[in-house]
Amino acid sequence: MKGVLSEKALREVNDKGFVRTGIRVPDSVLARVHETYDRMAPSDSNWSLFYVKRLTSSREFPLRKVHDRARWAYDYVKALARKFPLREVHRRARRAYDKSIFGFSEALPLVLRECLSQGLACHLGDIPLLVGHDIYLEHDRHKKTFGFHHDGFGWDIFYQSDDDLSFYIPLVDLTDSSGGRLLVETRPSRSVLYEDRNDWISRFAAYCRKYQATDDRGLVTRQTVEDSPNRRTIAKEFERLLGERRALPRPTADDMSLIDASRGEVVLFCNKRFHDIEPWKLDVPRAIYIVRCSPLYDFGMAPPATFLNNAPCNRFLLDGCRGTLSPFNAETDMARAIPVPPEFLAADG
């Protein structure tokens, strides 16, 4: 994550897995977050669409044999998506969260501008961050939550990196007595997932270029792959690369840092490393607001403007050097993309 975070923040994240920014989103802005999501119904939850909207399809790819617990959850939701109508998938997905809403809410720029006004730039490096989307998660103590996992390279997100940065902002106090605290890999630089860093996504982009799945700018996009006559071949490669990553060993409980955080506090961590949530103990709901960003790396790929249920995404650029948040223009701003560190670049072809 060199260049994504400042040197001090990088030392902090390499030492304990997260950055405590000292920023606290004030109640007036948190009220806007609440207003935004209070207006939305649990049925607006859309994370289950990650399992429905895949590059692969059931006709082309039969269910894999379930061979471990991690794959069980993955295959279970995939099976649901095939067996039941979408509404049923959503209903069953809500066993994990009452609300799990991914998009680009009106609260997002308010929160990030507040962070900038409280000195966010001193925690960031010189690589511009593409502000991908925000997430609202709400659940009571009977829900399962996502559990121990790392955020995979979801197809519908498409543009992402191994150095993605999450702004984790609890909307309730998270303490020993409340439970519900976030756990992250203590030393992400030693993570098994760190070794392949951005290599595999570079290899995937190269593979797509080999099969001419590019637009008139020569960039690989989600649409060019989906429209490609070689879609099936590319989908197999994508699944193979994901499988390689899933097969890597996992950290143990001893390797995880437990994070106490107060309501509105801003914590940064990399969601591509393993993380977990401890059980929630209170009768009131636990609510979390997250903003996901990706460094603007030049993978030869361009980000989509919508995802899941046509929710907007990738609409702002956060510039740590300038301390600014500005609208993202995919046509012109990709020229500002930073080359992926050369030691992790794959050969093209």
Residues that bind Fe ion (CB under 5 A): 151
* Minimum CB distance to Fe ion, residue 322 (Å): 29
Residue count (the chain): 349
For residue 198, the minimal CB distance to Fe ion (Å) is 19
State how far the Cα of 101 lies from the Cα of 108, in Å rounded to an integer.
13
The nearer residue to Fe ion, 74 or 328, going by C-beta atoms, is: 74
Query: For Fe ion, which is the closer residue by CB, 151 or 156?
Result: 151
Q: Are 75 and 63 in contact (CB under 8 A)?
A: yes
Min CB(219)–Fe ion separation in Å = 27
Residue 252: phi, psi to the nearest 5? -95, 170
Closest CA to 205 of 315, 340, 81: 340
- Contact call for residues 210 and 349 (beta carbons, < 8 A): yes
The nearest distance, CB 146 to Fe ion, in angstroms, is: 5
The 8-class DSSP code of residue 2 comes to B
CB of 102 to Fe ion, least distance (A): 11
- Closer to Fe ion by CB, 103 or 128: give it: 103
Residue 242: what are its φ and ψ, rounded to 5°? Answer: -65, -40
Q: Where are the beta strands (DSSP E) in the chain?
A: 19-24, 99-103, 129-139, 165-170, 182-185, 256-259, 265-269, 275-277, 286-295, 297-298, 306-307, 311-312, 316-319, 324-327, 338-339
Read off the tokens for 216.
């008139």
Q: Scanning the structure block, which residue is given the tokens 């290599």?
A: 199
Question: What element of type H or E holds 87?
Answer: helix 86-93
Smallest gap, in angstroms, from Cβ of residue 290 to Fe ion?
A: 8
Which of 213, 270 has the CB closer to Fe ion?
A: 270
What is the SS3 assignment for 317? strand
- Between CA 309 and CA 294 the distance in angstroms is 21
Nearest CB to Fe ion, comparing residues 152 and 323: 152
Please count the CA atoms within 13 angstroms of the CA of 304 that sit on its side-chain side: 21
Tally Cβ neighbours within 10 Å of residue 49.
21
Nearer to Fe ion, 110 or 290 (CB): 290
Which residue is at the shortest CB distance from Fe ion? 151
In the bound complex, what is the minimum distance in angstroms from residue 100's beta carbon to Fe ion? 11
Q: Determine the Cα–Cα distance for residues 314 and 47; give it in Å rounded to an integer.
A: 17
Shortest reach from residue 326's CB to Fe ion, in Å:
27
Q: Please report where in the chains the tokens 């840092």 appear, as a residue.
A: 257
Three-state SS for 25? Answer: coil
d(CA 62, CA 54): 14
Give whichever of 12 and 151 is closer to Fe ion, judged by the CB atom. Answer: 151
The CB-of-154 to Fe ion minimum distance in angstroms stands at 11
CB-nearer residue toward Fe ion: 50 or 159: 50
Taking the least distance from each CB to Fe ion, the nearer of 100 and 224 is: 100
Taking residue 56's Cβ as centre, other Cβ atoms within 10 Å add up to 15
